[in-house]
Amino acid sequence: MDRTGVILIMGLMAYALRVVPQVLLVGRRFPEGWDRWLRCLSYALICSIVAMTLFMTGGRFESNAAPRRVAALAAAALVAHRTQSPVAGMMAGTALAAVLGWLG
Amino acid sequence: MLFSGRRFGQGMRAAVPIWIAFVPSSIAWGIAAQTHRLPLAEVVFMSAWVYSGPAQFAVLGPLSEGRPALQVLITGFLMNLRFLPMSAGLAPYFGGTPRLKLLLASHFVSASSFIVPYLQFQKEASAAPSPPGAGQRNLCFFLGVGASSFLVWVAGTAAGYGFALSVPPGFEEALKFILPGYFTGLLAVEARDRTARQICLASLVLAVPAGAASADWGWLLSAAAVATAGWSLERWIARASS
């Protein structure tokens, strides 16, 4: 199979995962407990993606970059919490990541 | 009601931080794909058709090295499994929407375009009961977020492909941080209760050893385990106190 064919099938599989809940679950309210579990799962998934993006490369822990990225992450969370603005948090964390990257 | 321009516009405004985050991410993806010597047409096609940054990054190496198709597909599938709970989380808010619209709109479900509408719908639902036609209006909001973010992602991919490869290390570090930084900021504002914060912290910490144990499965399994443990503990405490 050529590369375009692989990408085509990969996209179809991704679409199937996106569309199946929309077809089977649309308009239905989950029981409160199930809804709460989904919310917990979304928090956990997003935090795991953040950790994998910032601290792991190819299954290896990026020990050199980790301290400055933890600092940038803490700055983003703190500023967002104080200002109640995710964008302000993102900008503060990104600025700190850039400065620490240049220094390091 | 067919289409709510006001609601679509609200979605687009809510998506601005995602656009800001997607510009560097999509450019970074374009640069990475170019360094792996994939042709521009395939790179843009992949961004538009698969539309999943983590999966695209994950399969880039195997795809460019000509590894077996099954390996690439399994890797992509595992990375995209997260769409199941995300799409399931949105589905209850689209009641009364024609199925064809849902089929078309589903393509725009991504980690970023999921969390913004999902939190917005939850906030609205907790403030007041859903009025008639809320499902279609919610879909318009979702499309405002999803379709605009999608266009930024695809355009950014093409721009990144032509971007200079000699990005200064400090600048690269900032680019890498933008999307996680935005998610962190969003959760710092939205995850207000104690359980949610404990889940965030535990999954952030545990994803690292879990990802080291298994780069494909580890972080997914640890996220599911932390979420389930936090949810169970919360229910147990609620039962014990009632």
pLDDT tens track for B78-88:
778 778 878 88
Rounded percentage of chain B residues whose pLDDT exceeds 70: 93
Interface ipTM = 0.82
Radius of gyration of chain A (CA): 19
What integer pLDDT is reported at residue A76 of this predicted model? 95
Report DSSP state, residue A30. P
Q: Which of B31, B56, B43 is nearest to B166 (CA)?
A: B31
Judge whether residue B109 has pLDDT over 50: yes
What integer pLDDT is reported at residue B148 of this predicted model? 95
pLDDT tens track for A50-77:
898 889 887 789 998 999 999 999 999 9
Of A37, A58, A80, the CB nearest to B215: A58
Of B97, B172, B185, the CB nearest to A80: B185
- Measured CA to CA, the distance from residue B76 to residue B19 in angstroms comes to 24
Mean pLDDT of B115-135: 79
Judge whether residue B100 has pLDDT over 80: yes
Rounded percentage of chain A residues whose pLDDT exceeds 90: 39
- Measured CA to CA, the distance from residue B37 to residue B34 in angstroms comes to 5
Band (B166; pLDDT cuts 50, 70, 90)? low
Residues A42 and B118 sit within 8 Å (Cβ to Cβ)? yes
Per CB-CB distance under 8 Å, the chain B contacts of A72 are 177, 181
Query: pLDDT averaged over chain B?
Result: 84
Q: Which of residues 5-24 of A touch B (CB under 8 A)?
A: 5-11, 13-15, 17-24
What integer pLDDT is reported at residue B164 of this predicted model? 46
Residues A23 and B91 sit within 8 Å (Cβ to Cβ)? no
pLDDT tens track for B171-213:
677 777 877 887 788 889 888 888 999 999 999 999 999 989 9
What integer pLDDT is reported at residue B167 of this predicted model? 61
Which one is predicted more confidently, B164 or B11?
B11
Q: Which of B147, B122, B145 is nearest to B134 (CA)?
A: B122
A57 - beta bridge partners?
Answer: A60
Band (B98; pLDDT cuts 50, 70, 90)? confident
Band (A40; pLDDT cuts 50, 70, 90)? confident
What integer pLDDT is reported at residue B119 of this predicted model? 84
Q: Which of B192, B195, B190 is nearest to B238 (CA)?
A: B195
Burial of B132 (0-12, 13-18, 19+ CB in 10 A): exposed
Measuring CA to CA, how many Å separate A33 from each of A4, A29, B10, B85?
42, 11, 30, 14
What integer pLDDT is reported at residue B165 of this predicted model? 57
Cβ contact, residue pair A77, B54, below 8 Å? no
Q: Nearest residue on chain A to B111, judged by CA atoms?
A: A46
Cβ contact, residue pair B191, A9, below 8 Å? no
Burial of B229 (0-12, 13-18, 19+ CB in 10 A): middle
B144 Cβ neighbours under 8 A, 6+ residues apart: B7, B8, B9, B10, B11, B12, B13, B14, B15
Q: Which of B20, B65, B26, B18 is nearest to B44 (CA)?
A: B26
What integer pLDDT is reported at residue B80 of this predicted model? 82
Cβ contact, residue pair A6, B73, below 8 Å? yes
Judge whether residue B143 has pLDDT over 90: yes
Which one is predicted more confidently, A39 or B202?
B202
Q: Half-sphere exposure of A56 toward its Cβ, with a 13 Å CA cutoff?
A: 27
Per CB-CB distance under 8 Å, the chain B contacts of A50 are 180, 183-184, 204
Band (A30; pLDDT cuts 50, 70, 90)? low
Residues A80 and A88 sit within 8 Å (Cβ to Cβ)? yes
pLDDT tens track for B44-79:
999 999 998 878 877 777 788 777 888 788 878 877
Q: Which helix (H) or strand (E) holds B115?
A: helix B111-127
